Structure 1
Amino acid sequence: MGQPVREYLLTLCVTVAVTYLLTGPVRKFAIAAGAMPEIRARDVHREPTPRLGGIAMFGGLCAGLLVADHLPNLNGVFVLSNEPRALLSGAALIWLVGVLDDKFEIDALIKLGAQMIAAGVMVIQGLTILWLPIPGFGTVSLTQWQGNLLTVALVVITINAVNFVDGLDGLAAGMVCIAATAFFLYAYRIWFGYGIEEAAPATLFAAILIGMCLGFLPHNMHPARIFMGDSGSMLIGLVLAGSAISITGQVDPDSMALFAGGERNATHAMLPVFIPLLLPLTIIAIPMADLVLAIVRRTWKGQSPFAADRGHLHHRLLELGHSHSRAVLIMYFWSGLIAFGALAYSVHSASMWIVLGVAALSAVGLVLLLLPRFTPRAPHWAQALVPPRYRYTRRSARATVQEPVREAQGAEPGAEPAFAEPVTVGVSGVNGATAVGPRSRFPDRRKAGSAR
């Protein structure tokens, strides 16, 4: 068991390295190619930022598959299954459409058609859903057209869910990385815990997807130097959907029944993996909720479901007063809580401690959600291990005083100031009220009528 783990780690590290190293040259290429659209009304960034980050992510995908093909324990995935080739074919098609969209802004309906074609390409090559486990009923075998239709629907829904949530720096890549990590742990458990080799392709896809996101995140964290664009968001959405479809279409519930003590128990044991097929509620729960709310909101207003707006969940977090980084961390928290909560429940479904733990963490998440002004500070012994913004210093205390002033000047709440602007604190009036305001930057401030 140790050897496959090392090979998965090697594949993941190669994917991370290739994606990370390619992102820099891709950024220069995007700038030279003019893939830097103007700031739109719904955007939260303030400077034109190059797109086409999906080029580097696709390079990482190809590198990960190439390395895995030459490893002894992972080579069997390519020999015994056509799924890696099916995934690569669909990924290449959707990536190409995304690159064109990042440069030329393709119509939404054309992109939707391309997503369906990419899903159809994977279906033709065998990456499809064959059966569904229904809790309390058992396994339901699907006809060919039912499986194909459900596969295409899942791919399109997942792609658009990830694409819709890609609105803040590092948000989509981080959330998909969290989801892929939870999925990798579960798929690996099915393969080695139950000895079912058909779960190997899904495990490999999840490991590569983690590497793609981790390699791109350093360039995409706030303030982002490059965006993944549709070429990246649609790509990782397709790979995430392909992982879920792979384990659904190839893992035989009868094999699970031998280890779970019956078909019905096997259905319950497999449920956390198959939930993404029943309107994703765990792995892409947050992007899916954002997608559904966006469609309802736009349809209610008489707009197209594909019309862009500023009503997404991350936009609402910013409106509540959260900073850019805090909004991303809150979304990370909820994604991890749902994904890993479902993973833990799938392992020990009879344990009430898991339910209580998830409930407690949910309460903590609600408190953080409703306290946008609260800035956590690390203890003195841990300050060297956290980013500077979480270290309590005189400068951070001074920034707390300056925050209302910078907000009045139009700065983003919680954002770092572009320059250190001194603050004057004086006493005015009979009651001794304190007045706080920015000191003038002009040398002739006394000529302008200063009280001094």
Structure 2
Amino acid sequence: MLYGIAAAVTALFLAAVLAALLRLPALRLGILDRRCRRPLPLAGGAAVVLAVGLVAGVGDRTGLAPLGPDIGRLLVAGAAVAALGLVADVRRVKARFLVGGTALAAACVVPYEETGVLGGLLAVGWIVFVAVGFKALDHADGPAGTVGVVTALGVGVMAAAEVMDGLAMLLSVLAAALTGFLMHNWHPARVGLGVCGSLSAGFVLASAAVFTRTGHELASSAGVLFALVAVAGADLLLVVLSRRLAGRPLLRRGPDHLGHRLRRLGLTQQGVTVVLGVGSFCGVLVAVLVHLGWIAESGVLWVALGALVAVLALLCVKPHGHHLHGHPHGRSYGPRPTASTQVGARLRVRNG
């Protein structure tokens, strides 16, 4: 117990310090969020991954908090996904390579002996879905980290209930590391999470949730797993519906996520983060209570209904139209206009 608290505190401060230290190298190397009006170094993902790996690795090596072979494999696979995400932060990587690499990593950690082949394949698909969902949540300052902390704590409680001590330890360390990162990511952010951090965090959380639900009935597990990531799922559903209805490509970035539409309703960026955090907490709480058997399994239906109502309501909120040259509510999408293009625009207006 005491070591668990010490490990979490260490991960929190280590992630905060590493994020600050890695900020300048990320700026100099050009590892920046291309969507921002101002250069935002993507050092947060590497800081979180290093903090979690160091603290969990030391605990396992010293025997103070042994992870076990399955959790150790999860940690290695999560590091591989983080490395893939880091490549995507440095240079553009096609979405199919990100999805394929994440699916391959997921296939290496799913416990097929307990899930069966069909259940294992479904688990791989779900892990990829959640990882991509967390990557999509990293569209503004705060949401991805905040939702990640809430989800990690919830899955950690489920792991502890299943007496998976190594997994519970890993999740508490991850939650603490994300909290340390949020010290730099609260709006206005000084450091971003990037694909490295968001994709790997979603991967680890989804894989850990699968571990906690192995041995349970498939339909019940599907409901609990959805409730755990209701916010990320709602964000993906909103984006897909919005872009399909508008006839735009699914993979083209745009200011049409949950956070962007909530900003259009007048919320501040801090307010958006709080709203999404509260929504995530409600879904995670229902999932944990259903997992513990304290409420009926039908409780997850209310989470699904709430997510669907939110998606349909926000679908009526039109996203900002100027998505090619920036967005006034959070991060911008596309390159900033240069001085020459601004002068040219003024001349065209002056000449009629």
> TM-score normalized by structure 1?
0.62
Distance 1:160 1:189, change over 3 A: same
Structure 1 412/288 Cα, relative in aligned 2: closer, same or farther at 3 Å? closer
Higher share in helix:
2
CA contact 1:129–1:151 (8 Å) conserved in 2: no
Q: Say whether 1:7 aligns with 2:7.
A: no
Cα distance change of structure 1 residues 301 and 411 upon mapping to structure 2, 3 Å threshold: closer
The count of corresponding residues between Structure 1 and Structure 2 is 307
Deviation at 1:348, TM superposition (A): 6.0
Q: Report SS of the residue matched to 2:280.
A: helix
Match of 2:17 among 7, 17, 21: 21
Percent of pairs with identical residues: 22
The 1:95–1:52 alpha-carbon spacing in structure 2 relative to 1, beyond 3 Å, is same
The verdict on how the C-alpha distance between 1:304 and 1:202 changes in structure 2, with shifts beyond 3 A counting, is: farther
Q: Distance in 1 between matches of 2:252 and 2:141?
A: 21
* 1:95 counterpart residue number: 82
Deviation, structure 1 residue 115: 1.4
User: Which residue matches 1:68?
Assistant: 59
Amino acid at match of 1:50: P
User: Is 1:229 matched up with 2:194?
Assistant: yes
What residue in structure 2 maps to residue 293 of structure 1?
Answer: 238
List aligned pairs for 1:50-129, cutoff 5 A: 50-70=41-61, 72=63, 74-75=65-66, 77-78=67-68, 82-120=69-107, 122-123=108-109, 127-129=110-112
Q: Which amino acid in structure 2 is aligned with residue 203 of structure 1?
A: A
Q: Any idea what the Cα deviations from partners look like across 1:383-442, whole Å, max 9, x if unmatched?
A: xxxxxxxxxxxxxxxxxxxxxxxxxxx9869xxxxxxxxxxxxxxxxxxxxxxxxxxxxx
Q: Which runs of 5+ in 2 are unaligned?
A: 315-326, 331-352
Residue type matched to 1:324 in 2?
A: Q
How far did 1:318 drift?
A: 0.3
- The code of the aligned residue for 1:8 comes to G
Residues 43-73 of structure 1: per-residue CA shift (max 9 Å, x gap): xx54221113211111012112213214555
Aligned counterpart, 1:143? 116
Gaps in structure 1 of 5+ consecutive residues:
132-141, 192-198, 254-266, 371-409, 414-452
Matched-pair contact (CA < 8 Å) for 1:130–1:147:
no
What is the alpha-carbon distance in structure 1 between the residues aligned to residue 329 and residue 249 of structure 2?
Answer: 30
Shift in Å, 1:347: 4.2
- For 2:285 and 2:224, the matched residues in 1 are separated by 18
Give the SS at the match of 1:213: helix
More strand by share: 1
Report whether the alignment pairs 1:341 with 2:313.
no
Q: Is the 8 A contact 1:11 1:67 kept in 2?
A: no
**1:322-373: CA deviations, max 9, x gaps?**
111111111111111221233245446359xxx8xx99xx9xxx9xx99xxx
Label 1:327 to 1:295 Cα distance change in 2 as closer, same or farther (>3 A): same
Residues 71-107 of structure 1: CA deviation (Å, up to 9, x unaligned): 55522x33xxx21331122112211111111111212
Question: Residue type matched to 2:111 in 1?
Answer: T
* 1:393 corresponds to: none
Matched, 1:182 2:154: yes
Deviations 1:209-240 (A, max 9, x none): 21221121101111100101001100101110
Contact 2:74 2:207 in 1 (8 A): yes
Deviation at 1:300, TM superposition (A): 3.5
Which SS does the other structure have where 1:282 is aligned? helix
Relative contact order, higher structure (CA 8 A, sep 6+): 2
| Structure 1 residues 154 and 110, CA gap change in structure 2 (3 angstroms) | same
Which of these residues, 251, 254, 258, is aligned with residue 306 of structure 1?
251
In 2 relative to 1, CA 332–230 (structure 1 residues): closer, same or farther, beyond 3 Å? Answer: same
Give me the whole-angstrom Cα distance separating, in 1, the residues matched to 2:283 and 2:116: 32
Partners of 1:300 and 1:348 in 2: how far apart? 40
Q: Which runs of 4+ in 1 moved over 4 A?
A: 70-73, 345-348, 410-413
